Amino acid sequence: MNQPELIGIAWETRTGQPKEQRCYGTFDEDMPRLPLRFNILFVTHEGDFKMHSHEYCELVLVLGGKGEHITEREIYPLATGDVFVISGNTRHGFKDARGLKLCNIQYDPDQFLRGRQALDKMMGYHALFDCEPDAAPGDHFNERLQLAPEQLAYASSLLATLKNEFDGHTEGHEVIIEGVFLLLVTYLSRLHSRQAQESVLPSMRLANVISHVQKNFHEPLRIEELARIAHLSPSQFQRTFKRNYGTTPQKFIRQVRLYKACEMLKDPDQDITSIAYETGFSSSSFFTSQFKSAMGETPTQYRRKVLELQPGSEREPNQSGLLTRMRTSVQHVTGVISLALQCELTLCVML
């Protein structure tokens, strides 16, 4: 197999002795330590770093120095305390870097963030980590966060723990890395929510809608109501939603409901008619027709496949092509963090 093209070289400086870090942008080359698809680097950039994209997501914290961050839609100066997230389908680079010190956390969102429902209700998570980073290439870029000195100090303590555990390879380091990373994600999401309340970031308005849909998918949801939450007229809201997420609000609501229904169908004790009403569909027949249209099979057929799986099987029926595509759209706005709830007191103290 041919080695992928080298994107560029950065210099890791945390240990005091500069260490060359080659970036290829692939899981295999940049995160070879299976099954943990995670990497954390403290690097210094000088000059330019060419435009590139990568398979994984990247959480970046600016720790010092100066430079400009380049995306396909903007160029903006970086300052100490800046935080931003790059998704795998977003091209970006750096320009005129002068001692630009960054902490780059490279991670697989499917391994660390997908399917953790507690963050669904956090508007800051949707805006910073979830909404725009999953958008089509060149169309969108996630909102940024600026940390105050005391906030950066706390975040830096979490980064140090992640780096020590990652480099130390000690027993149980995978568990600690996952827990501390989720704590960091939650902390930054909370800060973003607070910042957004003050500056009314555009993506936060849509994140309010997403959070509302996640909480109330089982209830009737009217476009007029969602538009009011976004502080837009119904026509403006529908255009803005489609431009940001590549689908209509109506289709998104249906996808959320079907995704929830798929989870509920795994329970053999739940009646399909009850599932239909509990996920917001007006009747069992309408639910069945919508489910079959999206999934290519009826709820009963889907449930049968789930229940036929042998215990301990590594196969997962909801990873079929149709459901994977549907999940990708739904997980535009689904998220992370049960473990961080255990750290509620710590977060309250820091915030």
Per-residue pLDDT of 333-351, as tens digits, reads 333 222 222 222 233 333 3
What is the predicted pLDDT for the residue at 156?
97
Q: Are residues 147 and 255 in the same domain?
A: no
Residue 343 lies in a domain: no
Give whichever of 125-139, 185-199, 214-228 has the largest mean pLDDT.
214-228
**What pLDDT is stored for residue 92 in this prediction?**
93
Alpha carbon distances (Å) from 181 to 79, 139, 150, 170: 23, 28, 19, 17
The number of beta carbons lying within 10 Å of the beta carbon of residue 45 is 22
Q: Nearest CA to 149 among 84, 214, 202, 80?
A: 80
Q: Which residues of 231-254 are buried (b: 16+ CB within 10 A; e: fewer)?
A: ebebeebbebbeebbbeebeebbb
Match 């473990």 to its residue by tokens: 339
Distance CA 342, CA 351 (A): 16
Q: Are 3 and 32 in contact (CB under 8 A)?
A: no
**One domain for residues 43 and 156:** yes
Classify residue 181: in a domain, yes or no.
yes
Structural domain including 93 reads 8-200
CATH code: domain of residue 249: 1.10.10.60
User: Do the domain assignments include residue 297?
Assistant: yes
Q: What is the mean pLDDT of residues 162-168?
A: 94
184 Cβ partners below 8 Å, 6+ apart?
Answer: 59, 155, 158, 159, 162
What pLDDT is recorded for position 143? 64
Q: Residue 105: what pLDDT?
A: 96
Distance CA 134, CA 143 (A): 12
- Reported as a single tens digit per residue, the pLDDT across 284-326 is 999 999 999 988 999 999 998 888 774 554 444 444 444 444 4
- 192 and 327 assigned to the same domain: no
Cβ distance 219 to 148 under 8 Å? no
pTM over 0.85: no
Between 117 and 125, the more confident residue is 125
Beta pairing class for 92-107 and 38-52: antiparallel
Q: Is the same domain home to 131 and 177?
A: yes
